[in-house]
Amino acid sequence: MAYKSLKKLFYMDSSRDRFANNRRLAAERLNAESTFRTGMMTKEGELFLAVPHELSVLSEQTLRKERVLQGLQVSIPRIARGALVRSLVVDEVVCTNSLEGIHSTRRQISELLESAPSTNSESDKRFRELATLYLGLSRGQADCPKSLQDIRVIYDQVMAGEDLGQNAPDGKLFRRHAVEVIGEGGKTLHEGAQTEGEINGELGSMLALVSSPNVPELYSALISHYIFEYIHPFYDGNGRTGRYLLALYLSRPLSTITALSLSREIAENRAPYYKAFQEAEHPMNHGELTPFVLQMLQYVSAAQDRVIDNLVDKSLLLEKSETALAAAEKTLGLSKGEHNLLYLLVQHDLFAAFPDVRLDDAEGFMGMGRQSVRKYLGLLVERGLASQVGGRPLRFELSAAGRDLLEGE
C-alpha cells in the first residue's frame, strides 16, 4: 500500500471525528522514534520527516544505483568522463533556467563556458556565472554554505548579470518585505517568511539541519530544498538558487552526475514538482514532508535511470568504435597521432554536449604542441575522417565518413 499523506487520509475519513483523527495521526507521526524533526516551526506545524518503509526502500534503491553509476563512470576513459560531466552541466543550466521561464540554449551555455569572462557581454554574464557555479560543483570545488553570508554569496553568483531593479535584495542580506507567490487567476499560492529576521532564523535552522550528523545527508538535502523555497528569502531568483543548493547538497551523499541531472528531470515533469510543494504546505498535512521527500527521491531515481541507460548505450558504442578503430589503424596505416586524435573525436562525439573539439583543447588532451595536432588533424581531414567546422577558434569533429567507419558501417 502506497504511503498516504495526512491530508489524503483526512479526506478518506467520513467520520465525525475526522479532524480529531487527523490531529492524532499527525502527532503520532511527528513523535514516532523513527521520525526526523527539523525544529522549524511553520503555521502548519513543525516540519518533520516520517520514515515509512516506502522511503527506506526507495533510499536503498537510490544508493544501489549509485554503485552502478560509479562503476559505469570509471569504466569510460577520462576524456569521455569529462565530456559527459560538462554536457550535464550545460543541460542543468538550461533546464533550471527553463523552470523559471528563462530561455537559454545548450550551444549558448557551452560556448560561454569556453570563453574568457572578459569577452562576455552583460546579457551573457548571468548565464556564464551560473554555469561556472555548476562546473565548479562538478569538479568538487564548491563548498556548502556554512553561514547566512555564504548563502547570499551564492545568490549573487547565481544572479550575476541580472537586472533585478526593484527585485534586488533590500535587507542586510535578504529581502526586508513580505512576498507572495501568485498562481493562475491571481490566487496566492504561498507566503514566504515575513521579515528578514524570520528569514535569518529559518535559514539558520536549514543550515543546522544540513550539517547535523543525526540526519542522513540524502534526507537533509531534500528537506532543505523545501525549506529554502518555503522561506523564499529573495524577491527573485529563489528557484535557481534553491536548485543549485539542492545539487550542491546532493553531491555529498550521491555522485556528481546524479546531482547534475535533477533539473532536467524536473523540467520535463514539472507538474508533480510544484504540486509537491503545495501539498506539503496544506494545513491538513501539519508540516509533514514525507510525501515531498518521496516525490523528490522519485526524481532522483528517474534521473539515475536516465544517466545509467545513457552510459550503458554509449559505452557499448565506444567499445564498438574502439574495435573498429583498431582495425582501421591496420587497414589504413594510421599513425599513433592520428589514432589518438580519432579516439579523442569519438569520445566527444558520443559523450559531449556537442561533437566538435577546439584545437586548444585537443592540445591539452593529447599532450602535444599545436603544430603536431594541426599535422594529424590535416592528415585525418585528407583521409575524409574528420572535418573542420569552425575557424575562430579552430574546431573539428568526426566527418560522416569517420562516423560510418567507426560504427562499422
What residues are designated binding site for ATP? 236-243, 273-274, 285
- Computed on alpha carbons and rounded to an integer, the radius of gyration of the chain in Å comes to 25
The cell 545513457 sits on which residue?
A: 310
Q: Which residues pair with 37 in a beta bridge?
A: 48
Question: Which residue numbers belong to the known binding site?
Answer: 236-243, 273-274, 285
Cell of 97: 533556467
Distance of alpha carbon 261 from alpha carbon 191, whole angstroms: 29
Centre a 10 Å sphere on the Cβ of residue 155 and count the other Cβ atoms it contains: 23
Q: For residue 232, indicate whether it is catalytic.
A: yes
Does residue 396 contact residue 389 with C-beta atoms inside 8 Å?
yes
Q: What is the DSSP string of 246-268?
A: HHHHHTTTS-HHHHTTHHHHHHH
Q: What is the DSSP string of 77-145?
A: -HHHHHHHHHHHHHHHHHHHHHHTT----HHHHHHHHHS-GGG--HHHHHHHHHHHHHHHHHTT--PPP
352-387 core/surface letters (b: 16 or more CB in 10 A; e: else):
bbbbbbebebbbebbebeeeebebbbebbeebebbb
CA 352 to chain centre: 17
Distance of alpha carbon 127 from alpha carbon 124, whole angstroms: 6
Distance of alpha carbon 297 from alpha carbon 303, whole angstroms: 10
Tell me if residue 4 falls in helix, strand or coil. Answer: coil
Nearest Cα neighbor of 266 from 217, 299, 294 is 299
The sign of the torsion formed by the CA atoms of 127, 130, 133, 135 equals negative
Distance of alpha carbon 285 from alpha carbon 263, whole angstroms: 26
From 225, 232, 286, 348, active-site residue: 232
Tell me if residue 271 falls in helix, strand or coil. Answer: helix
Catalytic residue positions? 232
